Chains A and B, each alone.
Chain A
Amino acid sequence: MSPNAASANRIDRAFTRLRAEGTKGFIAYIAAGDPDLEQTRHIAFALEAVGVDILELGVPFSDPLADGSVNQAAAIRALESGTTVPGVLACVRAMRAEGLGIAIVLYTYLNPIYLYGFDRFLADAHAAGVDGVLVLDLPPDEAGRNEELRRRPAGLKMIRLIAPTTPPERIALIAKAAEGFVYFVSREGVTGEQASVSISLAEQAAAIRAVTDLPLAVGFGISTPEQAREAAGPVDAVVVGSAIVRRIGEHGASGEVARRVAEFVRPLVDAVKKDF
């Protein structure tokens, strides 16, 4: 396939395939460089092998204020292992060279990529084989107001977040700016596991679907197969982050972290793939 064709983006391809198969997508979040970038590569391949559709890779930042303690600890471990923005991009390039096929979204705060050079970061990420970028503290409003934050290479998707506090008129505005998929944060709060899935998810999903045809992913707080399955119902994909990151924290030093993570993630993936 031509790399310039619109369908070359792996996120688009993933959702096209999922719709054709009639199943839901699974998005796994891990912090790049936790415990180190070499293990990140092993974990990524292990996640692909158990059926993860999209890999969300966190670029570590010293001040992750939208993240809970689990992801914050992972960012600190990643920084301590020497992970840098160029290091994360090199890791993606290496994984693509080794044949990793699933879509990759970089999840980051603005400051590290702002100092790298916003344009340059997006161009380099795209060239490395990244399919989408989600910048936690860059709402579309600000992206539009700052010349240096406006340009980006064609083919790289800017993923946008919608929160439970987002009112209807703003949902429409964000949906218009969104690409690839819309990421709905299913609860108010920082990242972290929670006991039950937000009850009004179906309602909120319907409100978002009313203004966009983009696939809809839901995340923040999912940690069990039951929750994943329940959350997947009204949306196209679920995101699981902290629960995976916690296992990486527990097994990071063991030398078999990739296998442990795969064991944990397999039933989560299976839960969203069966009988929808």
Chain B
Amino acid sequence: MQTLPDAHGYFGPYGGMFVPETLMTPLRDLADEYERAKRDPQFQADLANLLGDFAGRPTPLYFAERLTAKLGGAKIYLKREDLLHTGAHKINNALGQILLAQRMGKKRIIAETGAGQHGVATATAAARFGCECVVYMGKVDMERQALNVARMRFLGATVVPVTAGAATLKEAINEAMRDWVTNVRTTFYILGSALGSHPYPMMVRDFHRVIGDEARRQMLAREGRLPHLLIACVGGGSNAIGLFYPFLDDEAVRMVGVEAGGEGVGVGQKHAARFQGGRLGVLQGTKTFLLADEDGQIQLTHSISAGLDYAAVGPEHSLLRDQGRADYVHATDDEALSAFHLLSETEGIIPALETAHAIAYAVRVAPTMRPEEIILVNLSGRGDKDVQQVADREDMLESVATPKI
């Protein structure tokens, strides 16, 4: 098993702790506490109980029979993280981190959120433990994920709109980091993806590896063999690394991460596909691939899915790509939308728009594979939060095509 990152938070040349001095020591303290917690059977037992009774693990491994038949190729299985409490994989990490916050005696919780799923998961965890909770969210994301904003508020969290820049996930992280720099002695920052400074990419991965651990066991029990291909969408990269990590030593298992292709990845088109035309740089604490212009200014990204609309990718994915261990592709907004409908109609499962990018790649690749081959898709979240956005978008298109009288 790959035992990365190293002691300093590096995954090969990627990762590290590129943060203002004020945060260096708090981050080291966090890394130390996490190492202690990891080896503490009580911590592990508490987390297992929460994941079971509160969040609803284990999640099913589901054979998507009609989708498989429709695509006419490899067998498609879905790891049903959408069935977790709060509706996405994000709760795995939020529960892990709030237990750490308890150990460290921090009663004030902050988080950033893009799609709102991590914000909802954090607000849920904070409510469960009686903590104050502040969630930073880009104004654009608050509009397109209004349902999740309401959920966070019902859960007692304060949602702070962020208006800078593109007013999406990156700007929300900047604001959360500013809050943390200012209130670091009392506050625990529950970061929502496998990105940012060490120890977050490692910690978030470890809290999500339960996805891959369960899926691997379930697949062996069900099929008596491992899948040929793993597929997951990649925003910061948490649901993808959670699925991939336990399979890294299974050399025959291929892995594909799907980034947001937005309008397309051609010149002048907006997207969030960091591995298509991205550069090596440093953003928000980590050295990794990111979308920046020639002058090093971070570029505005675009994706129909708020959760994939981010300019940098988690550092471990940059390494997996270098090693050729995982491949990274992209799906456009339109492909994701078609996949959203296809899964809804063929399987009775409405996926999150983020997740629909992973489905879109399965739709592309399954027909090229043999029927005895197996694809395992991480169904990272459900689409309730996106219903309004998709309906509005399609109403609009419809009303353009057939003007209402």
Binding site for B on A (CB under 8 A): 61-66, 68, 72, 76, 79, 84-85, 110-116, 136-139, 141-142, 145-146, 160-167, 170, 174, 185, 188-190
CB within 8 Å for A85 and B21 given contacts A66-B181, A68-B178, A188-B181: no
> What's the least CB distance linking A121 to chain B, in Å?
10
CB within 8 Å for A166 and B24 given contacts A145-B10, A188-B182: yes
Give the one of B21, B171, B281, B292 with max A CB within 10 A. Answer: B21
Is B160 located at the chain interface by the 8 A CB criterion?
Answer: no
A83 to B173, CA, bound (A): 24
Complex contacts, B184 vs chain A, CB 8 Å: 165, 188
Is B85 located at the chain interface by the 8 A CB criterion?
Answer: no
A114 to B16, CA, bound (A): 15
Give the one of B170, B283, B287, B295 with max A CB within 10 A. Answer: B295
Contact digits for B262-300, partner A, Cβ 8 Å, 1 yes 0 no:
000000000000000001111111010010101111100
CB within 8 Å for A112 and B295 given contacts A139-B24, A190-B178: yes
Is B164 located at the chain interface by the 8 A CB criterion?
Answer: yes
> What's the least CB distance linking B10 to chain A, in Å?
7
- Chain A residue nearest to B177 (CB atoms) is A65
Is B344 located at the chain interface by the 8 A CB criterion?
Answer: no
A170 to B184, CA, bound (A): 18
A162 to B207, CA, bound (A): 33
Q: Which of B338-367 contact A (CB under 8 A)?
A: none
- The reply to whether B19 and A137 contact each other, CB–CB distance below 8 Å, is yes
> What's the least CB distance linking A60 to chain B, in Å?
8
A62 to B285, CA, bound (A): 15
* 12 A-B contact pairs sorted by A residue (CB < 8 Å): A63-B298, A66-B20, A111-B282, A115-B281, A139-B18, A139-B21, A146-B287, A163-B20, A163-B25, A165-B184, A166-B21, A188-B184
6 extra interchain contacts, Cβ-Cβ under 8 A, other than A110-B18, A163-B24? Answer: A79-B297, A110-B282, A112-B296, A146-B287, A167-B25, A188-B22
> What's the least CB distance linking B7 to chain A, in Å?
11
> What's the least CB distance linking B108 to chain A, in Å?
14
Is B72 located at the chain interface by the 8 A CB criterion?
Answer: no
- Chain B residue nearest to A161 (CB atoms) is B21
Residue of A85, A142, A165 near B22 (CB, 8 A) is: A165
Residue of A84, A111, A138, A190 near B181 (CB, 8 A) is: A190
- The reply to whether B281 and A111 contact each other, CB–CB distance below 8 Å, is yes
A189 to B177, CA, bound (A): 10
> What's the least CB distance linking B383 to chain A, in Å?
30
- Chain A residue nearest to B178 (CB atoms) is A190
Give the one of A65, A112, A138 with max B CB within 10 A. Answer: A65
- The reply to whether B16 and A185 contact each other, CB–CB distance below 8 Å, is no
- The reply to whether A142 and B17 contact each other, CB–CB distance below 8 Å, is yes
- The reply to whether B295 and A85 contact each other, CB–CB distance below 8 Å, is yes
- The reply to whether B174 and A65 contact each other, CB–CB distance below 8 Å, is yes
> What's the least CB distance linking B29 to chain A, in Å?
9
A114 to B284, CA, bound (A): 14
- The reply to whether A111 and B24 contact each other, CB–CB distance below 8 Å, is no
> What's the least CB distance linking B11 to chain A, in Å?
13
A145 to B174, CA, bound (A): 25
- The reply to whether B21 and A185 contact each other, CB–CB distance below 8 Å, is yes
- The reply to whether A142 and B16 contact each other, CB–CB distance below 8 Å, is yes
> What's the least CB distance linking A20 to chain B, in Å?
31
Q: Which of B153-206 contact A (CB under 8 A)?
A: 164-165, 170-171, 173-174, 177-178, 181-185
- The reply to whether B282 and A165 contact each other, CB–CB distance below 8 Å, is no
A169 to B290, CA, bound (A): 34
- The reply to whether B16 and A145 contact each other, CB–CB distance below 8 Å, is yes
Complex contacts, B17 vs chain A, CB 8 Å: 139, 141-142
Is B58 located at the chain interface by the 8 A CB criterion?
Answer: no
- The reply to whether B182 and A189 contact each other, CB–CB distance below 8 Å, is yes
Q: What 4 pairs between A and B have smallest CB-CB spacing?
A: A112-B296, A115-B296, A189-B182, A163-B22
- The reply to whether B21 and A174 contact each other, CB–CB distance below 8 Å, is yes
> What's the least CB distance linking A33 to chain B, in Å?
12
> What's the least CB distance linking A31 to chain B, in Å?
14
A51 to B170, CA, bound (A): 40
- The reply to whether B174 and A63 contact each other, CB–CB distance below 8 Å, is yes
A166 to B282, CA, bound (A): 23
A188 to B290, CA, bound (A): 29
CB within 8 Å for A139 and B19 given contacts A65-B177, A188-B181: yes
- The reply to whether A170 and B24 contact each other, CB–CB distance below 8 Å, is yes
Residue of B16, B20, B296 near A85 (CB, 8 A) is: B296
A112 to B279, CA, bound (A): 12
CB within 8 Å for A65 and B24 given contacts A115-B294, A142-B17: no
- The reply to whether B170 and A63 contact each other, CB–CB distance below 8 Å, is yes
> What's the least CB distance linking B9 to chain A, in Å?
9
Complex contacts, B177 vs chain A, CB 8 Å: 65
- The reply to whether A65 and B165 contact each other, CB–CB distance below 8 Å, is no
A115 to B282, CA, bound (A): 9
Complex contacts, A63 vs chain B, CB 8 Å: 165, 170-171, 174, 283-284, 298
